[in-house]
């Protein structure tokens, strides 16, 4: 007999397939088991479309003539508490009750106020056996972006930079200098596809004229966020090509030019990271990857306003130049990517 953890692990594998497609919803996977055999599975594939439980049930009803009887004697494993409210789709708790599925195993509760235990309570009130907390830590980790947005009213913040072996970020004159190899750059593009937005400061645009899109990986390009206090950048730069929604935080104006939105901050001397992230939260942006420059990255670090940092160290040296940001956090991992070293830090404050 397979353990509940094995089926929940499959839920997590399925849920992760929704990365980059379901935000601001969470990633969710579901598996339906009858007599130790998986008869249906599904995941939330796209924001606004069917939830994991719906897709799993549909697999059963599409493939078995006696689906009704099978479901009545099955267990459904779900990585996140089934919803209990009407949003873009009907409540999944009602679907489970409708098909009289006898047992539900939940990875973790959903902190979203319209759910937050209500789905579990509804199932239990209908006489369904509910177990909560199987692989809970793993389920919480998978949806850390969603939980951050719901509980902290801001996006999940990922810092990313590359530094030389002697800890420099860029040459002193601010010119472009590649520190990492193609393997690391491909990985960064995959990261971009997984996040809602990418943020850089004005100087990064001036030095690199980056496209800030996804070219070396599969997936959609994130929204762009530019910090340009005095609007020194003109529309000749790639970031203003209007291929994706772009937010420009500045001290000069509120304005909209097609899908470029200028958002004015009245106070550009205090709490800038906090103001920007709250505005992005209001735009339903669930996660942001911050790629530069050094001053912008350090501002978020100094404010303690970050969740995860991904730091590449290349083999080259510069001897002098712009120093890389300094970060203090929990070193979660270190690995080799091509000729580069990648370290992952988390904010333990």
Tens digit of each residue's pLDDT (9 = 90 or more) over 197-237: 999 999 999 989 999 999 988 899 999 999 999 999 999 99
Could you list the active site residues?
A: 53
The reported pLDDT for the residue numbered 234 is 95
For residue 306, give Cα distances in angstroms to 46, 154, 159, 290, 335: 27, 10, 7, 10, 21
Prediction pTM value: 0.92
Report strand pairing: 322-323 vs 168-170.
Answer: antiparallel
The reported pLDDT for the residue numbered 230 is: 97
Integer-rounded Cα radius of gyration of the chain: 23
**The residue to which tokens 């072996």 are assigned:** 165
Closest CA to 260 of 278, 248, 276: 248
Q: Cα–Cα–Cα angle for 93, 98, 101, nearest 5°?
A: 75
Residue 178: per-residue pLDDT: 86
Between CA 91 and CA 83 the distance in angstroms is 5
pLDDT of residue 88: 65
What are the residue ranges in the chain where pLDDT is below 70?
1, 85-89
- Cβ-based burial of 219 (10 A; exposed 0-12, middle 13-18, buried ≥19): middle
What distance in Å separates the CA atoms of residue 141 and residue 338, rounded to the nearest whole number? Answer: 27
pLDDT value of position 85: 67
Tokens encoding 233? 């950048």
- φ, ψ dihedrals at 81, nearest 5°: -45, 130
Output phi, psi for 106, to 5 deg: -110, 135
| Residue 330 neighbours by CB under 8 Å, 6+ apart | 345, 346, 347, 348
Sign of the torsion angle spanned by Cα atoms 174, 179, 185, 187: negative
CB distance 223 to 198 below 8 Å: yes
pLDDT tens column, 148-161: 999 999 999 999 99
What three-state secondary structure class fits 220? coil
């Amino acid at each position: 007999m397979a353990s509940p953890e094995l089926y929940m692990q499959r839920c997590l594998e399925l849920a992760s397939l929704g990365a980059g497609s379901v935000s601001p919803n969470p990633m969710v996977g579901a598996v339906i088991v009858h007599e130790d055999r998986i008869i249906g599975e599904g995941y939330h594939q796209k924001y606004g479309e069917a939830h994991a439980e719906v897709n799993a049930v549909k697999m059963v009803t599409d493939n078995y003539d006696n689906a009704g009887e099978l479901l009545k004697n099955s267990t459904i494993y779900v990585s996140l508490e089934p919803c209990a409210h009407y949003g873009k789709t009907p409540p999944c708790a009602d679907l489970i009750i409708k098909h009289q599925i006898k047992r539900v195993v939940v990875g973790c509760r959903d902190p979203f106020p319209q759910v937050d235990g209500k789905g579990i309570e509804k199932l239990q009130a209908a006489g369904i056996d509910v177990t909560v907390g199987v692989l809970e830590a793993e389920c919480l980790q998978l949806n850390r972006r969603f939980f951050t947005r719901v509980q902290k009213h801001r996006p999940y913040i990922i810092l990313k930079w590359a530094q030389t072996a002697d800890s420099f970020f860029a040459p002193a004159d601010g010119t472009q200098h590649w520190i990492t190899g193609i393997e690391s750059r491909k990985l960064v593009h995959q990261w971009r596809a997984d996040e809602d937005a990418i943020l850089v400061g004005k100087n990064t645009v001036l030095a690199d004229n980056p496209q800030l899109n996804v070219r070396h990986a599969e997936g959609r390009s994130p929204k762009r966020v530019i910090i340009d206090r005095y609007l020194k950048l003109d529309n000749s730069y790639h970031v203003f090509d209007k291929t994706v929604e772009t937010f420009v935080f500045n001290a000069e104006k509120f304005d909209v030019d097609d899908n470029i939105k200028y958002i004015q901050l009245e106070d550009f001397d205090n709490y800038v990271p906090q103001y920007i992230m709250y505005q992005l939260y209001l735009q339903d942006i669930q996660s942001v990857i911050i790629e530069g420059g050094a001053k912008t990255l350090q501002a978020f670090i100094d404010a303690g306003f970050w969740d995860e940092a991904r730091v590449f160290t290349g083999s080259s040296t510069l001897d002098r130049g712009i120093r890389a940001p300094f970060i203090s956090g929990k070193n979660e991992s270190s690995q080799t990517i091509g000729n580069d070293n990648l370290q992952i830090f988390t904010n333990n404050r």
